[in-house]
Amino acid sequence: MIAHFAAALLLAASPDAGVASADLPPAPLACVAKWYPAVVPVRLESGWGFRLPDGRTYPFDDGQVKTFAQQLESPDLEDALSIPYRTGPLTPVTREDEDPGRIRFDPLFLATYGASAAQVDVVPVRILGQRLKVHRKAAPAFQRVGARLEALLAKDASLKPFLTNLGGTFNWRTIANTHRRSAHSFGVSIDLNPARAHYWEWQQPKAPLKWRNAVPLAVVEAFEAEGFIWGGRWYHYDTMHFEYRPELLDPACAPR
């Protein structure tokens, strides 16, 4: 299925593809299907959508114009991809609500990783000598990040305070002060040492919101290289937080 869509996308990119491109799913939807096999693009009466393993179907774009708060609470899959994730130098995030990745389409994660604490298939991994529980599907990426971090520490011991006393991985819970499911619930997130991090909810006074960070770029790039996004790239900053979201680092999934 994935190979079929990849080939179809290449055809659509051809100048001679013509009207055939109308028969293809939107490129971002096909890209998500590459990273999340639970997603099967399908044609719905309202346009392109997708089917999950339990048979439920959803529109890729529900056609509603939403505020950022509405996208957080009731997103479609297109909303989850709507804010581009930008790598590169560490710069303050000053554009209000520029939070790539904070909008999550929960049915996708529930179908991919588990719909209850008991269904989330966690396995132990060791990162910098610390034993952590992560989802089996994301474990290889966590292990690759661990190897990158070990190599960094061997060259620069000043990074050690950020990488000791890690804040945690799998924890079936909601995001603080919300009813939304945390990415930690799925075993795809990790927090660095909270004592060396900054979090917008900890800011005093609460307003105006001012981006802060101390995490070095080398640590951020080690995670991003293996498909993890960083909460320090958010206006609502959470600099201890990394989560495995390879679709947001794949240019093919970016919104047009």
Q: pLDDT tens across 156-213, in order?
A: 999 999 999 998 999 999 998 889 999 999 999 999 999 999 999 999 999 999 999 9
- Would you state the pLDDT for residue 21? 61
The ranges assigned to domains in the chain are 2-60, 106-253
Mean pLDDT over each residue of the chain, to the nearest integer:
92
The residues, any chain, with a CB within 8 Å of residue 147's CB and separated by 6 or more, are none
pTM of the shown model: 0.90
- Would you state the pLDDT for residue 22? 67
CA distance 219 to 152: 8
**Average of per-residue pLDDT across 246-253:** 97
CA distance 75 to 61: 9
DSSP state of 174: B
Q: pLDDT tens across 86-114, in order?
A: 999 999 999 999 999 999 999 999 999 99
| Per-residue CA distances from 204 to 69, 192, 198, 201 (Å) | 22, 21, 11, 8
User: What percent of the chain has a predicted confidence (pLDDT) above 70?
Assistant: 91
**Average of per-residue pLDDT across 121-129:** 96
- Would you state the pLDDT for residue 6? 44
| Per-residue CA distances from 89 to 99, 143, 214, 218 (Å) | 17, 25, 13, 10
**Average of per-residue pLDDT across 58-75:** 96
CATH classification number, 106-253, choose in 3.10.450, 3.30.70, 1.10.260, 3.30.1380: 3.30.1380
- Would you state the pLDDT for residue 23? 86
- Would you state the pLDDT for residue 52? 98
Burial bucket for residue 53 (CB in 10 Å: 0-12, 13-18, 19+) = exposed
Taking every pair of Cα atoms in the chain, the longest distance, rounded to a whole number of angstroms, is: 58
CA distance 35 to 141: 13
Contact 52, 108 (CB under 8 A): yes
**Helices and strands: H and E segment counts in the chain:** 8, 8
- Would you state the pLDDT for residue 255? 81
Q: pLDDT tens across 208-243, in order?
A: 999 999 999 999 999 999 999 999 999 999 999 999
CA distance 179 to 173: 9
User: What percent of the chain has a predicted confidence (pLDDT) above 90?
Assistant: 88
CA distance 98 to 101: 9
3 state DSSP class of 231:
helix
